[in-house]
C-alpha cells in the first residue's frame, strides 16, 4: 500500500467508530480529510466541529452539519491525524498550521483518536520540526524568548518562520508559525511547559496525554494502538 492508501484506510476505519447523534471533532490535514470523506459517505445524523476553515468547507460540501466549538454539548469523539506518533501516543501536530484549533477541540472531547499511515510512528519525537504558533505582533521578540526556552531544554536548533511562496504562513487565527528542527525530543513534557510559558506563544504542536487510541494503517491492515 502507498502512504496515501494507508491514510485512506485509517480514515475509513475511524469513520466506522462514529454513531448517529454524535458530536464529532473533525481534524485537519490529508489523513483527516480521508476520515471526513468516509464520514460524509455514511450520511449519518451527526454534528461536526471542524478544526480549521478548510475542514469546515470540506465537511459542508459533503453534507455534514458543522457547528462552532462551544455551540454543542461535549464532543463525543475527535479524529485527527499527526505528523509523528511517539511512545505512549505522544504526538507532534501542526504541519497543517491548525495546531491551536486542533488542541482546543481535542481538549473539549471525551475521546480522541489519532489516525496515520505507518510512516508516522517513531521511537522518539523530534525528527519532524515542532510547530509553535506565535502572536504576529512582535513575533521576532517572542522568537528570542523561544530560543531561551529551548536552551533551557538543551535544544540548540534555531526556529524558522514558516513561509509559503515567500510570504509568512498565517493560521486561521492570524498567528504566525515557527518550526523547530529539534532532531530528537528527550523530555517532551518539559519542552511543552517551557514553550507554553513564553509570552507571545499561543501554543505548540506537542500533544501529550490527549490521544486515547491510534489507528495506524500498515500493509497488513489497520492496527489499534493504545497509550
Say if residue 40 carries a ligand binding annotation. Answer: no
The answer to whether residue 71 is catalytic is: no
Say if residue 126 carries a ligand binding annotation. Answer: no
Residue with cell 494507508: 6
Say if residue 173 carries a ligand binding annotation. Answer: no
Please pick, among 4, 68, 84, 102, the residue that the annotation labels catalytic.
102
C-alpha–C-alpha distance, residues 194 and 211, integer Å: 21
Say if residue 14 carries a ligand binding annotation. Answer: no
Using alpha carbons, list the distances in angstroms from residue 203 to 91, 98, 181. 14, 11, 17
Say if residue 28 carries a ligand binding annotation. Answer: yes
Say if residue 31 carries a ligand binding annotation. Answer: yes
Q: What angle do CA 62, 65, 66 make, to 5 degrees?
A: 105
Say if residue 83 carries a ligand binding annotation. Answer: yes
Q: Is 213 helix (H, G, I), strand (E, B) or coil?
A: strand
C-alpha–C-alpha distance, residues 96 and 5, integer Å: 20
Say if residue 90 carries a ligand binding annotation. Answer: no
DSSP annotation of 124: S
Say if residue 72 carries a ligand binding annotation. Answer: no
Say if residue 29 carries a ligand binding annotation. Answer: yes
Say if residue 82 carries a ligand binding annotation. Answer: yes
Print burial letters for 191-210: b (CB count within 10 Å at least 16), e (below 16). bbebbeebebbbbbbbbeeb
Q: Which three cell numbers stand for residue 74?
A: 461535549
Residues in CB range of 2: below 8 A, 6 or more apart: none
Rg (CA), the chain: 17
Annotation: binding site? 28-31, 80-83, 93-96, 120
Catalytic residues: 102
Binding residues for substrate: 28-31, 80-83, 93-96, 120
Amino acid at each position: 500500500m502507498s502512504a496515501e492508501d494507508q491514510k485512506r484506510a485509517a480514515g475509513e476505519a475511524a469513520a466506522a467508530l462514529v454513531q448517529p447523534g454524535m458530536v464529532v471533532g473533525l481534524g485537519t490535514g490529508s489523513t483527516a480529510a480521508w476520515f471526513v470523506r468516509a464520514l460524509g459517505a455514511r450520511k449519518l445524523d451527526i454534528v461536526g466541529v471542524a478544526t480549521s476553515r478548510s475542514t469546515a468547507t470540506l465537511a459542508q460540501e459533503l453534507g455534514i452539519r458543522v457547528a462552532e466549538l462551544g455551540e454543542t454539548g461535549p464532543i463525543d469523539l475527535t479524529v485527527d491525524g499527526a505528523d509523528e506518533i511517539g511512545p505512549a501516543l505522544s504526538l507532534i501536530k501542526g504541519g497543517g498550521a491548525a495546531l491551536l484549533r486542533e488542541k482546543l477541540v481535542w481538549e473539549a472531547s471525551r475521546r480522541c483518536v489519532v489516525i496515520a499511515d505507518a510512516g508516522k510512528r517513531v521511537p522518539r519525537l523530534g525528527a519532524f520540526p515542532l510547530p509553535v504558533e506565535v502572536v504576529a505582533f512582535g513575533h521576532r521578540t517572542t522568537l528570542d524568548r523561544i530560543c531561551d526556552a529551548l536552551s533551557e531544554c538543551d535544544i540548540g536548533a534555531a526556529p524558522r518562520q514558516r513561509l509559503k511562496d515567500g510570504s509568512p504562513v498565517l493560521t486561521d487565527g492570524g498567528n504566525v508559525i515557527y518550526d523547530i528542527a529539534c532532531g530528537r525530543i528527550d523530555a517532551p513534557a518539559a519542552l511543552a511547559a517551557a514553550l507554553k510559558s513564553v509570552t507571545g506563544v499561543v501554543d505548540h504542536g506537542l500533544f501529550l496525554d490527549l490521544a486515547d487510541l491510534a489507528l495506524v494503517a500498515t500493509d497488513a491492515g489497520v492496527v489499534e494502538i493504545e497509550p
